[in-house]
Structure 1
Amino acid sequence: MTKYIMWGTYCEDVLEKRAPYRQAHLDGLAKQKESGVLITIGPTKDLTKVFGIYEADNEDTVRQLVENDPYWQNGIWTEYSIKEWIQAF
């Protein structure tokens, strides 16, 4: 399968705004991790960006996962891009 990276941006005041959606967000990520499609994901230390690595059949699968996430649906993630990634090591 192909690996993809996702870079996204968080909204202003992310810590306060994410609270109502956090558990659903984490539960969804846990299911993705368990299924093997999500390799890793997390915020930058300054909480302005999110970075994820996925392994999927195609980019559309990754886009669906991102866009079905409560953080995307509720404006916690404000934009994102996905690129196919070649893991050299």
Structure 2
Amino acid sequence: MTKYVMWGSYCEDVLEKRTPYRQDHLDGLAAQKESGTLITIGPTKDITKVFGIYEAADEATVRQLIESDPYWKGGVWTEYEVKEWIQAL
């Protein structure tokens, strides 16, 4: 399996706008973590960016997970990019 890094941005007023999507978002991330696809994910301290590491068969799988997330669908995440990652250590 290949590892991928996701780097994205949050919308303005993220703390307010995420409220209706938060529980479904967290539940989905927990399921991805349990399945082994999601290694880690979280916001920067200033809550302007999101960073995640995934392990999947291909980049399309990672993009599908991101784009089906309630935060993406609800406009809480406003943009993202995915890059294949080589873990050196």
TM range (shorter): over 0.9
Aligned to 2:67: 67
CA drift at 1:62:
0.1
Residue-pair matches, total: 89
Structure 2: unaligned runs, 5 residues or longer? none
Q: CA RMSD in A?
A: 0.2
TM-score normalized by the length of structure 2: 1.00
Quick one: which amino acid aligns to residue 4 of structure 2? Y
Instruction: Provide the rounded CA distance (Å) in 1 between the counterparts of 2:42 and 2:13.
Output: 17
Deviations 1:41-82 (A, max 9, x none): 000000000000000000000000000000000100000000
Structure 1: unaligned runs, 5 residues or longer? none
Deviations 1:11-69 (A, max 9, x none): 00000000000000000000000000000000000000000000000000000000000
Percent sequence identity is 80
TM-score normalized by the length of structure 1: 1.00
Show structure 1 runs of 4+ deviating over 4 A: none
